[in-house]
Amino acid sequence: MPIFDLSHTPLRELNSALHNLGTGANDLEFEVVNPRGHHAVAVGIDAPVTVEVKGSVGYYCAGMNDGGTVTIHGSAGPGVAENMMSGTVVIEGDASQYAGATGRGGLLVIKGNAASRCGISMKGIDIVVHGSIGHMSAFMGQSGHLVVCGDAGEALGDSIYEAKLFVRGSVKSLGADCIEKEMRPEHLEKLAELLAKAGVTHAKPEEFKRYGSARKLYNFNIDNADAY
């Protein structure tokens, strides 16, 4: 297992190694020590590698991940797993703003809390937060799932499209065009699957409420002008 110590190894060397594996590469497991809040750690992965980051990171860790499994044994700064395509990113601590922003696929697990705009403009990613999330989360969420085992801040799901939101705790307020919706058997089944994948053992699907789009803002309608 290659080990990169970012206290004396340039970050560029780590990311270059992850980007230049080639067909039949033997080293598919990497360890990163002393990340010291570096930005853009393990970005642009496009192979089924495993990266263990032993510490906290700065901006955009695991951004554009496509097939890799990245575990952060600490907390993450803004934009973790931004524009993720596939694979898995796990944060053992907390995540700052816009975690999983514009994500198109894969699974993002945050075992602590997430700050504002978690899942903003999500486009197919699944996000499971063991704790709570901040305001404006899932803003303009197009598809995918956001699961919150704790509470949600203000304006949840503002201007949402077809992303599905599940919150176990309280919601401070819902954003424009976001409403509580019926929890049907297929939603409970999907939620159970996501909770299992994310290692959630303290919450049951029946304890959650589902939120989604009222579908009034897809096209401009003068009767709904006050909702924009």
Question: Token match 């579908």: residue?
Answer: 215
Rounded CA-CA distance 4/172 in Å is 42
Burial 157-181 (b: 16+ CB within 10 A, else e): bbbbbebbbbbbbebeebbbbbeee
Task: Please write the tens of the pLDDT for every residue from 151-206.
Answer: 999 999 999 999 999 999 999 999 999 999 999 999 999 999 999 999 999 999 99
- Encode pLDDT of 82-114 as tens digits: 999 999 999 999 999 999 999 999 999 999 999
| Domain assignment of residue 105, given as a range | 3-227
User: CB neighbours of 177 closer than 8 A, spacing ≥ 6?
Assistant: 157, 158, 159, 160, 213, 214, 215, 216, 217, 227
Residue pointed to by tokens 């990113």: 89
Q: Give the number of domains in the chain.
A: 1
Measured CA to CA, the distance from residue 14 to residue 176 in angstroms comes to 43
CATH of the domain at 132: 2.160.20.60
pLDDT at 27: 80
Residue 222's pLDDT band (cuts 50, 70, 90): low
For residue 25, pLDDT over 90 is answered with no
